[in-house]
Structure 1
Amino acid sequence: MTAPAHHSSTRSTKRQVIIETAERLFAEHGYDATSTARIATEAGVPSGLVFYHFATKLDLLLAVVQERPAPSDVLRSAARGRTVRRRLRAIVATIAAELENDRAARIIVFREAQGRPEIASRASEMFAEATATVADLLAGADDVVADRARVQAAAELVVSRVFLDTVALGQVETATKRHAAMIDLIAESLTCGVRVPGGRARRS
């Protein structure tokens, strides 16, 4: 009875090796320039095993992009501060670190999304999930007084700006220092920049 479990575990391990090898090669050489034969060779598996796990090379590319930790899980585990400013600092640092750790995958998404609807769709889904999670985290801070529309706009600004700096511009180090002015501006807006009836600013 133990043999099937062993074989299943081995197949699962081989599948992961194929994904990791494909991720590296797709990032280094591009999807079109990377053959499944080369992926199999560098993964140390028979060519047929690639197609045992993935019906097409595109299915393998989709697995590389899709089989990653959910942005919501990563962000929620990191941003536990009680104030907007503390949460923003943790969110910015976490997004930048995750994008850097996933450098190969982000290169693939940035490159392949241009001509492949499936990748563009997945990138949009991940951006939307990250933005919604950031909005929830900011809305749950003790000192936030802004309405949901302003919180949502702040979340979109944070995610898009950190993504632009990290993915498009390659700027990763000291993310919280580089974005200190943005963090202060958003924190001020969400905690004491909301107008209430009578025209006075509500302070936290």
Structure 2
Amino acid sequence: MPGTGGHRSTGADGGTRTRILDAAETLIATRGFDGTPTAAIASRAGVPKGLLFYYFPTKESILTALVTERMPTDAAVDLTGVAVSGAPVDSLVNLDAALDRPEGRPVREILWRESSTHPVAHEQLRALRAHLHAITVEVLRASAPLTAPARVLDSCANAWVSAMLTATHLDRYRERGERTASLRAVADVVTAGLGALSQP
């Protein structure tokens, strides 16, 4: 899923703000928003608590910055080599690999965990889902061996995006290779509606 391509910032002020967000990202992804006090964020970032509030007036503003700045919902994705003609299963697995950037995993976990209780996370996840859906439809249309009706592509894309988002949440409980194997099995089912089976 789209990341940000790094968390670099220039200047002393930008560097301090970035350190605060880096600390918040790590702690909130691990402990959850409610379980992460601002004092812990300030301590991990190596800044006084008062300076943290200079950059982020409220704890909620830290969450807002994390999910909006570090998980853009309209990031361009290079689909070159992702869609393989006649092989939609491989294409879906390729899409997940192209989107699953390591630097974006903690924020994806935050989005998933906090979306049920924090409106900003909910809205960001909803927008991200719509973006991923559009990309998935594009990949399926380019790779399906037959022309599928729009409603079929829509249903397949909905199922695949749900699988990718769920896989992100489950990644912390399993080995890295298990994600691909699990999603390939899901892709077999998803693309069955297109008359496609995975290649041996």
TM-score tier by shorter-chain length is 0.7 to 0.9
Distance in 2, Cα, partners of 1:78 & 1:68: 25
2:150 equivalent in structure 1: 148
State the Cα distance separating 1:8 from its structure 2 match: 5.8
- Give me the CA root mean square deviation: 3.0
1:82 equivalent in structure 2: 85
* Mapping for residues 18-97 of structure 1, pairs under 5 Å: 18-70=20-72, 72-74=75-77, 76=79, 79-83=82-86, 84-95=88-99, 97=100
Task: Report if aligned partners of 1:145, 1:191 keep a CA contact under 8 Å in 2.
Answer: no
> Deviations along 1:122-177, whole A, 9 cap, x unmatched?
11111111112111222233734102211111111111023223315745534333
In structure 2, do the counterparts of structure 1 residues 106 and 142 end up closer, same or farther at CA, with 3 Å as the change threshold?
Answer: closer
Distance in 2, Cα, partners of 1:55 & 1:86: 46
Q: Secondary structure at the match of 2:167?
A: helix
Distance in 2, Cα, partners of 1:127 & 1:112: 15
State the Cα distance separating 1:34 from its structure 2 match: 2.4
Task: Report if aligned partners of 2:71, 2:108 keep a CA contact under 8 Å in 1.
Answer: no
1:106 equivalent in structure 2: 108
- Number of corresponding residues: 185
Distance in 1, Cα, partners of 2:53 & 2:80: 36
TM norm structure 1 = 0.74
Structure index of larger Rg: 1
Distance in 1, Cα, partners of 2:35 & 2:182: 36
Q: Say which structure, 1 or 2, has more relative contact order (CA 8 Å, 6+ apart).
A: 2
State the Cα distance separating 1:39 from its structure 2 match: 1.5
In structure 2, do the counterparts of structure 1 residues 53 and 78 end up closer, same or farther at CA, with 3 Å as the change threshold?
Answer: farther
Task: Report if aligned partners of 1:93, 1:175 keep a CA contact under 8 Å in 2.
Answer: no
Determine what percentage of the aligned residue pairs are the same residue.
27
TM norm structure 2 = 0.75
In structure 2, do the counterparts of structure 1 residues 89 and 55 end up closer, same or farther at CA, with 3 Å as the change threshold?
Answer: same
In structure 2, do the counterparts of structure 1 residues 119 and 40 end up closer, same or farther at CA, with 3 Å as the change threshold?
Answer: same
In structure 2, do the counterparts of structure 1 residues 165 and 8 end up closer, same or farther at CA, with 3 Å as the change threshold?
Answer: closer
Q: Secondary structure at the match of 1:76?
A: coil
Distance in 1, Cα, partners of 2:11 & 2:81: 31
State the Cα distance separating 1:69 from its structure 2 match: 4.8
State the Cα distance separating 1:101 from its structure 2 match: 5.2
Task: Report if aligned partners of 1:92, 1:158 keep a CA contact under 8 Å in 2.
Answer: no
* Mapping for residues 167-186 of structure 1, pairs under 5 Å: 167-168=169-170, 170-171=173-174, 172-186=176-190
2:5 equivalent in structure 1: none
Of 39-48 and 177-186, more deviation after overlay is shown by 177-186
